[in-house]
Amino acid sequence: MRAPLSASSFQLAIQPGMRPMAKITVINGASDLLVSLLGDKGKHARAAVAVSGLPKDTTVEIQMIVEVE
């Protein structure tokens, strides 16, 4: 993978009473991981959405468009 062209959608399944900062921390962690793994090439634009549920009871869904060498 050369670099994420866009990490266009981060979806986070939230639980009732979940603190707002906890939501941001999870999404920031995913973004930070890409930068840690890929350096400057891992920097990306993103949009984050909180939803009441995701398929198969997953907690986070990340959709990315990448360029592969």
Phi, psi of 23 (to 5 degrees): -65, -45
**In DSSP terms, which residues pair with 65 in a beta bridge?**
6
Measured CA to CA in angstroms, residue 13 lies from 4, 34, 37, 48, 67 at distances of 23, 20, 25, 11, 28
Please state whether beta strands 3-13 and 46-51 pair in parallel, antiparallel, or not at all (unpaired).
Answer: parallel
Q: Per residue in 42-69, pLDDT tens?
A: 888 887 777 777 788 777 777 877 777 7
Amino acid identity at 35: V
Q: Per residue in 10-53, pLDDT tens?
A: 777 777 777 766 667 777 888 888 889 888 888 888 877 777 77
The domains found in the chain, sorted by start residue, are 3-67 (3.30.1330.40)
